[in-house]
């Protein structure tokens, strides 16, 4: 497992020309918020930064959906 993780880190570094520490640091800033109101609850990701978009594009990874989950409020 450690060898595979190291290999994936190295592939990410060579593909993006960025160190693993910077890749991990930038992607660690991805956030997900949960919002509740009278109509229900939904979970939404924050807007990606240009750097995050560029990293995901170079790695050929689809960016996360804007709305992850939506649950309507229960009928009274």
pLDDT by residue (tens digit) across 21-37? 999 999 999 999 999 99
Rg (CA), the chain: 17
- Give every CB contact of residue 56 below 8 A, 6+ residues apart in sequence: 48, 62, 63
Residue with tokens 């593909």: 15
Whether this model's pTM surpasses 0.75: yes
Domain count, the chain: 1
31-47 burial, b at 16+ Cβ within 10 Å, e below that, comes to eeeeeeeeeeebebeee
Range of the domain at 34: 2-72
Q: Please report, rounded to a whole number, the percentage of residues in the chain having pLDDT higher than 70.
A: 100
């Amino acid at each position: 497992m450690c060898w595979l993780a190291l290999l994936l880190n190295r592939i990410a570094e060579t593909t993006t020309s960025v160190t693993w520490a910077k890749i991990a640091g930038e992607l660690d800033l991805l956030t997900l918020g949960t919002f509740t109101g009278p109509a229900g609850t939904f979970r939404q990701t924050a807007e990606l930064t240009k750097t995050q978009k560029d990293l995901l594009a170079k790695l050929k990874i689809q960016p996360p959906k804007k709305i992850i989950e939506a649950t309507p409020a229960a009928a009274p």
